[in-house]
Amino acid sequence: MFNIKYTFNCFVNKCGTRCLSHVKNLSIVQDINLKEIPLVNEPILSYKKNSRERDDLIETLKHKSTECQDIPIVIGDEEIRTDNIKYQVMPHDHSKKIAKYYHASTDIIKKAIDNSVKSQRTWDAVPLDKRIDIWMRAADLMATKYRQELNSATILGQSKTAIQAEIDSAAELVDFFRFNAYFLQESLKYRPISPKESINSMRHRGHDGFIAAISPFNFTAIGGNLAYTPALMGNSVLWKPSDTAILSGWTIFKICREAGVPAGVVNFIPAAGPDFGDTITQSPYLSGINFTGSPATFNHLWSQVGANIQTYINYPKLSGECGGKNYHFVHPSANTEHVVLSTIRSAFEYSGQKCSACSRMYVPESLWPTIRDRLVSVTEELKLGPADDFTVFSSAVIDAAAFKRITSYINYAKTSPNNRIIAGGTYDDSVGYFVRPTVIVTTDPMDKLMQEEIFGPVLTIYVYQDRDLDSAMNLVEKTTPYALTGSIFTQDREWAVAALEQFKYTAGNFYVNDKSTGAVVGQQPFGGHRKSGTNDKSGGPVYVHRWSSPQTIKETFVTLNNYKYEYMH
């Protein structure tokens, strides 16, 4: 403890340095009213036949499938409709329109920026406990009143099956809102060390300016997380939803407004990607980009930020999740049935349109005949069809561009001497964008089918000699620039421990005897490194603080009467 008796005097009550204890509860930073937030994941409903949730969803789907919602651009309280009209269609029946929406011009995007900058300080002044109340209320609305509206928007607009929609647009979305509120509240329990003569505090602020949230089509929950987690931390947000997830994004936006998120905190800005990216990166008030999408787009945005770095009032925070080339690595001791069924789900659920989907697999020759026969058998029996058909395993890919990209890889496999299609390989876009789950065997572990993200229902397998196990393991890291998810399958615990170390840098989310998909908020915070992204681990306690600008405060309760230090006397 410092000896301050002859250099300081108490300026709170003029009673001397031995009476400082009475000021310790007088911190200028006021505590918030902490509430009990249960750390429990939202239950995933089963939708089995004759269940209440199934009947409710069917009824909602009947209603929603017959209408085309008009969805405006929203800046503050103003709804805007432009001449640049677009339509969202059902991917499994692209003749049916479910949403009419409008692209914002660069002038409208600039207007949204101005509104966001003006709104940010007002919103940031709202106490954290009040914001947490709003987020918990929004989560409750998502889990109850609007659960089936969210699910139906995701089923019809993004062609997810009932269970895939339930996992995403109900359970995970609710979890993001509740858990992020919980993680924020828990962080507020931290108290900096305060010595005898002062009190040290910390508070969370939003960032000056605005955050741009750019969300993908494949997870409704990601859109809600990208836009509303920065808002929870006191930021204002420009949200550009994917054109192929407009309806589900709009549903989230309306729910949050009903829950109490003020106008202008999140502005709903559908727009052409280049128009949006060019405009936000030219604004001096850009304080962050929260992004999920392709590496090419993220690289371009990062380059634009770098080129304009001198113009910003802040150094913008860039958070990105950019996909992967995820693997299942099979050890000779693995349970073959478990391998096959785990791989089917990982590679082909939602037509492989998950950042974490298994896209490459390494199989030992000793297990290959058993795995091959079973994998082909199960793949060929998978039923595809309209997403609102409760008997299908999977449905259409998202749009014509995705269909063209995915089928180009299948056509490449058909003509390449190194590759052989052993299941699937067919496709049809006459009604919907349907691609059969496809299994390819390659003799070249460095073939582009093992390297490049396809983002569709295409699995490529390399069969290695059992004696070459170590060499096969070395291929995992050097084959691709991605490092998002990976799984090993083994009953050899000693090898699993060694593999965990060897594969340390191959994945941000690593699984042992489980599929490479299915990360759960609060259980497996999600994110990858290298070209898979900035690994900010959404669904975990760190993520909310990416969007905070903390301020530390020191309050001193004694006066300084001498500039000299003790050694100077």
Residues acting as catalytic residues: 321, 355
Three-class secondary structure of residue 291 per DSSP: strand
Longest distance between any two alpha carbons in the chain, whole Å: 91
Q: Where does residue 4 rank: exposed (0-12), middle (13-18), buried (19+ CB within 10 A)? A: middle
Residues 66 and 155: their CA atoms lie apart, in Å, by 14
Tokens at residue 498, please? 């060694």
Q: Are 436 and 459 in contact (CB under 8 A)?
A: no
Taken as a whole, the chain contains a residue count of 569
Which of 379, 370, 374, 365 is closest to 462 using CA atoms? Answer: 365
3-class SS of residue 381 = helix
On whether the CB atoms of residues 287 and 164 are closer than 8 A, the answer is no
Q: CB count, 10 Å around CB of 417?
A: 7
Tokens for 6?
């002859």
> Contact, 57 vs 47, CB < 8 A?
yes
| Buried/exposed 525-535: b ≥16 CB within 10 Å, e otherwise | bbbbebbbbbb
Question: What is the rounded CA–CA span in Å between residue 488 and residue 108?
Answer: 49
Provide the 10 A C-beta neighbour count for residue 451.
Answer: 16
Closest CA to 249 of 292, 278, 282, 286: 292
Contact at 8 Å (CB) between 360 and 327? yes
Q: Do 514 and 326 touch, CB atoms closer than 8 A?
A: no
| Residue 7 CA: distances (Å) to CA of 127, 198, 403 | 38, 15, 76
Cα torsion 267, 551, 222, 52: sign: negative
User: Of 190, 182, 196, nearest to 552 (Cα)?
Assistant: 190
DSSP per-residue letters across 403-449: HHHHHHHHHHHHH-TTEEEEE---EE-SSS-EE--EEEEES-TTSHH
Q: How far apart are CA 90 and CA 158, in angstroms?
A: 7
The structure tokens 């924020």 sit at 184
Rounded CA separation 555/483 (Å)? 45
CA–CA separation, 164 vs 261, rounded Å?
A: 28
> Whole-angstrom Cα distance, residue 507 to residue 477?
9
CA–CA distance from 236 to each of 13, 112, 208, 302, 543 (Å)? 42, 10, 9, 20, 17
